[in-house]
Amino acid sequence: MTKSQTSSPTPHKYLQEDDVSEDCKKLLSTLPKERGWVGSYVYNYQGFWALPRLIQGVIACQRQYQAQDNDIILVTAPKSGTTWLKALLFSLVNRKKYPVFEKNHPLLVKNPHDLVPLLEQDLYVDGQVPDFSLFTSPTLIATHVPFASLPKSVQNSRTKLVYLCRNPRDTFISMWQFTNNLRLDSHRDTNSIEEMFDHFCKGVGLYGPFWDHVLGYWKESIENSDKVLFLMYEEIKKQPKIQLKRLAEFLDCPFSIEEEDCRVVDEILRMCSFGNLRNLEVNVNGNMSAGMANKNFFRRGEVGDWKNYFTVEMNDRLNHIIEQKFHGSGLKFVYI
């Protein structure tokens, strides 16, 4: 949570594949591995695929993180709209402390990733022990970890989870583009769309298989609706006000009539919109404290960009997988 810097970006530290403990290296040598999206390899740990340093972070937070009842955890499969949800949640739950109409709102000078840290990537990294007393209350944390691998204290506490799901086609395109940009930044060859699509379809996505990630939280949101709220990127695009109010109610901080009259809901949505965030100086020229250029997180921000890339064969293959994997779950990707 340090200030965004404006010097040229260094390669993200999660690309430094050898920079893990000896114990983690030993573990990695026993895990299945596949060609990486960003680095050389991804490894399968507890049924999901991740980069070496992230696996180390996941193990650390599984051991150490003690969730508190009023913590709020935002969960996504990567490239499902994490940046957007971080911005929405931050401005929503902190709206008394940081009124959205004020010119010095933190979102105007910091990237959402520097305001809502990732549990396994920013907080429990390199033996760090986070000091949660420095966080504003309620504590807002993000994670990409699948439900089954969350620290036990998250499952056993009254901590609320907000899950954002995006249609797999746009999620795939976003991930392919993003990871290729990171590869270019660190002077690596880019991955072809054919190869990475095959990977994605076989379940080798970051923190994937994508369907297992989504279904884990979808099922929990049905069985335990007070604990997990399941949102869809496409629905927030289509009905932003309704979805933001739903989120506020779930988090027990509904908008008052006065706030609605003063257009607080509209202002949160405007401030967190793709067009607004992308054009802020911090997101045009700034870097995340973890060393990545903020602009990487703002590409197109649209529903249906996959249509510019998919062949008929790709679409058929993914349709078939979606039908198979989500059959009987009740979850449908209608807005694509």
Active site amino acids: 144
DSSP label at 293?
B
Per CB under 6 A, the list member of 90, 147, 172, 298 interacting with ligand PAP is 298
Smallest gap from Cβ 106 to ligand PAP, in A, equals 15
Q: How remote is the C-alpha of 112 from its chain's centroid?
A: 11
Would you count residue 240 as binding ligand PAP (CB under 6 A)? no
Q: Of the ranges 183-191, 209-217, 297-305, 328-336, which one interacts with ligand PAP (CB under 6 A)?
A: 297-305
Q: Of the ranges 82-90, 181-189, 244-252, 319-327, which one interacts with ligand PAP (CB under 6 A)?
A: 82-90
Q: Report how many residues bind ligand PAP under the rule CB under 6 A.
A: 21
Would you count residue 305 as binding ligand PAP (CB under 6 A)? yes
Other residues' Cβ atoms within 10 Å of the Cβ of residue 186:
14
Smallest gap from Cβ 61 to ligand PAP, in A, equals 17
* Comparison of 12 and 95: residue with beta carbon closer to ligand PAP: 12
Q: What is the dihedral of CA 119, 223, 91, 244, to 10 degrees?
A: 150
Q: Of the ranges 66-74, 98-106, 170-178, 248-256, which one interacts with ligand PAP (CB under 6 A)?
A: 170-178
Would you count residue 78 as binding ligand PAP (CB under 6 A)? yes
**Percent helix, strand and coil across the chain, each rounded to 5?**
50, 10, 40
Would you count residue 299 as binding ligand PAP (CB under 6 A)? yes
Q: 19 with 41: CB under 8 angstroms? A: no
Token pair recorded at residue 38: 């960003």
Would you count residue 157 as binding ligand PAP (CB under 6 A)? no
Would you count residue 95 as binding ligand PAP (CB under 6 A)? no
d(CA 44, CA 208): 9
* Comparison of 27 and 274: residue with beta carbon closer to ligand PAP: 274
Per CB under 6 A, the list member of 301, 314, 322, 331 interacting with ligand PAP is 301
Q: 186 with 97: CB under 8 angstroms? A: no
Smallest gap from Cβ 315 to ligand PAP, in A, equals 17
- Residues 323, 324, 325, 330, CA torsion sign: positive
d(CA 256, CA 219): 31
Smallest gap from Cβ 293 to ligand PAP, in A, equals 13
d(CA 7, CA 285): 9
Would you count residue 76 as binding ligand PAP (CB under 6 A)? yes
Q: Of the ranges 37-45, 72-80, 133-141, 313-321, which one interacts with ligand PAP (CB under 6 A)?
A: 72-80
Would you count residue 309 as binding ligand PAP (CB under 6 A)? no
Would you count residue 295 as binding ligand PAP (CB under 6 A)? no
Per CB under 6 A, the list member of 80, 91, 180, 287 interacting with ligand PAP is 80
Residue 18, C-beta contacts closer than 8 angstroms, at least 6 positions apart: none
Per CB under 6 A, the list member of 4, 56, 62, 83 interacting with ligand PAP is 83
**Residue linked to tokens 């944390």:** 141
Q: Of the ranges 42-50, 76-84, 220-228, 323-331, which one interacts with ligand PAP (CB under 6 A)?
A: 76-84
Binding mask 273-292 for ligand PAP (x = CB under 6 A): xx--x---------------
Q: How remote is the C-alpha of 205 from its chain's centroid?
A: 13
**Residue linked to tokens 């971080």:** 86
Identify residue 51 by its one-letter amino acid code. L
Other residues' Cβ atoms within 10 Å of the Cβ of residue 13:
14
Other residues' Cβ atoms within 10 Å of the Cβ of residue 274:
17
Residue 146, C-beta contacts closer than 8 angstroms, at least 6 positions apart: 46, 47, 48, 207, 212, 213, 216
Q: Which residues bind ligand PAP (CB under 6 A)?
A: 76, 78-84, 170, 174, 177, 272-274, 277, 297-301, 305
